[in-house]
Structure 1
């Protein structure tokens, strides 16, 4: 399922009715364990307001992985929103991230990342790449005029799974960190849409076949591998704030997945807001889906503004 972010994906949320929102206490910024000093920028001001495509961030197994960067036209050092595309861990492309460029107007740098697909390697290669992208951006914060202590991540479906791992597993999970290992892969906020967070429970056959292809195991099989792939396994009180969105008519990923994540986070005091999109399918759209586009736009913008203030 392809997700068109920000402008287009939020248009799918337009319609009316009511929204079930489960809030938690006021969002607060969760810093990296040791805040990274902000270096003197070496950024080329000619790039203001532009995009920089196909930047190699890491080369696992000698295969270059790329990301795109979209710069605000003013200010800096900027906070960062990292977009991680979905596609069942086997398809999708960073080009979708261009749709989030509207956030440049809020003074937020947008980066969109490609990562190895399941045909190139089973999990955890996907999260290894996404974590490496975060570490790369921190290591090159002067070059991109970004603030290494203000980084958020957003993803849908498989991308939602990966950004949730960024938020909960942070630097603790034992995955390959061969490049930029001196940098932290922690983020300060996470936005998930129709994500998967607990592979220790059974999933519908359609998505479970995608899980098997990407992980070599089936969700709910009781294996330690499935527990290790689950963001809920790593939840601790120092995790960053989460904004969790899911459609109540999602026929691909059960809405229970987002409810489980929300319950685990709030149980240990992590600020987390769960938004159930009424009549929303896996893309958060559908006939009479709500909240409206404007409401979702404002929700995401306000969430990031509070995190990045």
Structure 2
């Protein structure tokens, strides 16, 4: 049955107002856009910086986008709304898997954090304590940032500023993979197929590259003193199974570390259900607790 033109117009207008996949609201415009934080082989790595209004030296949260390590852009920042809670937010780019295989991606992320610390006074935010948030592949990278602070093998030299720390003090992971070995057992289509995301990230199948797969899996890097962790994951996620987050929680708890898992009932891989006002409030309070120096 054909709908009247007026009804079609109203439905189209309504759809245009709905949140994008993985976003709670339309993207805010960055305060400073396309800042080059490093160059690797003539390739510029960039970030966008969102600053809250009327806030002096706001704490910093770094956002890392998803896209299976092969797509996505720093231009889509799922946590720019944190500026409403008084945080500065930096959304960073990193080399995708068709450009360079792992550990290039974590080297880039750590290079961005060092750069952001080195330029904190210039842009007016406080990078004494840095939080990170990421979705999907970005969730994997923030988990690694939270578990490899001060570990030379993950550091790299991207962007220089080697006198600055790349360690982070709080991690919010949205449905990121944490254990590629487990994933190769119950989701091999994501790890063994030459076209699969993990295969492309590692440059080969997990089952034939177990040492590299362990090196790239955050669950195997957890140690005492790692950053507090908040995970948000849908129980109907068919792309990254919920057991990836449950595995991370188990390892964190075994190490006596602070961790919380917020399961989204009926939630798939991303979508607005992960960014509802209560979810946003939970993430904001998590970062307030761990990043604001005047908060007990």
**Shorter-chain TM-score category?**
0.7 to 0.9
Question: Is the alpha carbon distance of 1:279 and 1:173 closer, same or farther for their aligned partners in structure 2, counting shifts above 3 Å?
Answer: farther
Match of 2:124 among 124, 133, 145: 145
CA distance in 2, matches of 1:249, 1:217: 28
Match of 2:173 among 192, 217, 222: 192
CA distance in 1, matches of 2:224, 2:214: 19
Offset of residue 292 of structure 1: 8.1
Q: Which residue of 2 aligns with 1:121?
A: 100
- Listed as ranges, the gaps of 5+ residues in structure 1 are 10-48
Partner SS for 1:149:
strand
**CA contact under 8 A between 2:139 and 2:174: conserved in structure 1?**
yes
Q: CA RMSD in A?
A: 2.1
Partner SS for 1:307:
helix
Question: Is the alpha carbon distance of 1:260 and 1:221 closer, same or farther for their aligned partners in structure 2, counting shifts above 3 Å?
Answer: farther
Output aligned runs, 1:98-117, within 5 Å: 99-117=78-96
Output aligned runs, 1:287-302, within 5 Å: 293-302=276-285
Count of residues in correspondence between the two structures: 264
Offset of residue 3 of structure 1: 4.7
CA distance in 2, matches of 1:205, 1:223: 13
**CA contact under 8 A between 1:200 and 1:222: conserved in structure 2?**
no
Q: Are 1:72 and 2:52 counterparts?
A: yes
Q: Pick the structure with greater CA Rg.
A: 2
Match of 2:236 among 233, 249, 260: 249
- Listed as ranges, the gaps of 5+ residues in structure 2 are 1-19
Q: Are 1:228 and 2:215 counterparts?
A: yes
CA distance in 2, matches of 1:293, 1:142: 33
Q: Which residue of 2 aligns with 1:29?
A: none
CA distance in 2, matches of 1:3, 1:218: 29
Q: Which residue of 2 aligns with 1:24?
A: none
Name the structure, 1 or 2, with higher relative contact order (CA <8 Å, separation 6+).
Answer: 1
Output aligned runs, 1:254-293, within 5 Å: 254-283=241-270, 293=276
CA distance in 2, matches of 1:75, 1:294: 22
CA distance in 2, matches of 1:212, 1:173: 24
TM-score for the superposition, normalised by structure 2: 0.83
CA distance in 1, matches of 2:44, 2:21: 24
Q: Which structure dedicates a bigger proportion of its chain to helix?
A: 2
Give CA-to-partner distance per residue, 1:55-97, whole Å, 9 cap, x none: 0001122321000001111122111111100001000001111
Give CA-to-partner distance per residue, 1:126-146, whole Å, 9 cap, x none: 111111000000011111112
CA distance in 2, matches of 1:63, 1:149: 29
CA distance in 2, matches of 1:118, 1:50: 26
**CA contact under 8 A between 1:165 and 1:231: conserved in structure 2?**
yes
Q: Which residue of 2 aligns with 1:182?
A: 163
Question: Is the alpha carbon distance of 1:283 and 1:166 closer, same or farther for their aligned partners in structure 2, counting shifts above 3 Å?
Answer: same
Partner SS for 1:104:
helix
Q: Which residue of 1 aligns with 2:187?
A: 204
CA distance in 2, matches of 1:136, 1:172: 18
